[in-house]
């Protein structure tokens, strides 16, 4: 498995290191977002609006960008612009005085992600042999999640050892962001930019039926996949001390990072569809357990199980879509896949926030149920095509 990862194209590794630095910057902030919003009068509903609105706005950009690179190429410039925009936007959260300002800053950050994500995934898909795409996407996600380990460690150090205010820690997130943007520029210039993969109409071609069924299943899953920041909110409500929140976030990201490459390898060996079904099953079981966890140590311990669904599913979902869609339409397909997650996140977060304020079991229970619906749609809706997946 490690040997297979080492043989992956250099583009995959370079983009992985860029994501590592970017997530280090982002996850210096993310675990502190609930506390930041609380300091300006925002609660669970405000948190849902911040996360959901940002993703919804960015979703439209993801679709447009994916289609454009299919028609015209220019993957590299979108990747660079996306990382640069996010680098500037994130530290602006340190200046907010009202929840709506967090919505604006977070939306600009996600706009940058919307610009870069589909072109980046299309590059990875294009340079990687089909039989290694699961491990390629798994490696990229592993490095992305490794950055999400580094970020909370830095935040915990700055909060606990240096006793810096939350807003100062958020402002300092610009430092790894600058390094990630510089590395993205170097990487894109070092490796030749992906050329257009077809004529002007290729990116507009209808997706194959198998891909459409998969995206419907992804939509149901995404409707139940509320932001992980709610898990931090629940930990805080159960009594976890503030300096431990970044550490809790770190453990989740570490679990994801350690499992992404094995999960991608399993997708290559046993089929991305089967691995994705297992991933969503684990998600449903995890959220059902979260609903009844009585103390913050038990809730935190469940992160070990919850991380398995990320490790198995993140590479498998992209690998499955890449296998179902011809090369000339993959930018659009990845844009749609990312956009489905983004569009669903607003209703998912708002609904979860509303139910959470009514009763915790309702919120976590609905997320588990929607994951089961997604699992059934994928299992039954693609069963007759299993041999082609």
User: How confident is the model over 254-290, as pLDDT tens digits?
Assistant: 888 889 889 988 988 888 889 999 999 999 999 999 9
Q: Select from 336, 389, 324 the least CA-distant residue to 125.
A: 324
Give yes or no for residue 178 having a pLDDT over 90: yes
DSSP 388: G
Q: Count the domains in the chain.
A: 1
282-317 residue pLDDT tens: 999 999 999 999 999 999 999 989 999 998 998 898
> Region 320-331: what's the mean pLDDT?
80
CA quadruple 184, 8, 71, 110: dihedral positive or negative?
A: negative
Q: Which positions ≥6 away from 45 have C-beta within 8 Å?
A: 350, 353, 354, 357
Range of the domain at 166: 2-388
CB 332 within 8 Å of CB 352? no
Q: What is the CATH number of the domain that holds 297?
A: 1.20.1250.20
DSSP 194: P
Q: Where are the beta strands (DSSP E) in 198-249?
A: none
**What pTM, to 2 d.p., does this model score?**
0.73
pLDDT, position 177: 92
């Amino acid at each position: 498995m490690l040997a297979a990862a080492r043989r992956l194209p250099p583009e995959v590794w370079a983009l992985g290191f860029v994501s590592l630095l970017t997530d280090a910057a982002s996850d210096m902030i993310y675990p502190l977002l609930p506390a930041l919003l609380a300091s300006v009068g925002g609660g669970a509903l405000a948190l849902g609006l911040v996360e959901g609105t940002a993703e919804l706005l960015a979703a439209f950009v993801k679709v447009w960008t994916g289609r454009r690179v299919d028609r015209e190429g220019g993957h590299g410039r979108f990747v660079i612009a996306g990382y640069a925009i996010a680098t500037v936007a994130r530290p602006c959260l340190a200046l907010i005085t009202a929840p709506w300002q967090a919505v604006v800053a977070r939306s600009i950050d996600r706009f940058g992600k919307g610009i870069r994500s589909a072109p980046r995934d299309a590059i990875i898909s294009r340079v990687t042999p089909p039989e290694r795409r699961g491990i390629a996407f798994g490696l990229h996600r592993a490095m992305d999640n490794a950055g999400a380990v580094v970020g909370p460690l830095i935040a915990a150090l700055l909060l606990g050892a240096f006793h810096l205010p939350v807003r100062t820690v958020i402002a300092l997130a610009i430092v790894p962001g600058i390094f990630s943007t510089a590395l993205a520029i170097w990487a894109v210039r070092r490796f030749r930019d992906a050329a257009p993969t077809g004529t002007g109409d290729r990116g507009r071609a209808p997706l194959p039926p198998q891909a459409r069924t998969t995206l419907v299943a992804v939509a149901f899953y995404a409707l139940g996949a509320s932001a992980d920041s709610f898990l931090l909110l629940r930990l805080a409500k159960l009594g976890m001390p503030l300096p431990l929140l970044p550490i809790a976030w770190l453990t989740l990201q570490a679990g994801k990072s350690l499992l992404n490459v094995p999960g991608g390898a399993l997708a290559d060996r046993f089929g991305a569809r089967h691995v994705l079904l297992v991933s969503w099953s684990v998600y449903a079981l995890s959220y059902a357990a979260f609903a009844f966890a009585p103390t913050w140590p038990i809730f935190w311990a469940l992160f070990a199980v919850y991380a398995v669904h990320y490790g198995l599913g993140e590479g498998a979902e992209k690998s499955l879509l890449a296998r179902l869609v011809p090369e000339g339409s993959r930018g659009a397909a990845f844009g749609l896949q990312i956009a489905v997650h983004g569009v669903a996140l607003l209703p998912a977060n708002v609904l979860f926030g509303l139910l959470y304020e009514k009763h915790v079991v309702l919120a976590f229970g609905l997320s588990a149920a929607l994951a089961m619906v997604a699992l059934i749609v994928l299992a039954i809706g693609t069963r007759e095509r299993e041999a082609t997946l």
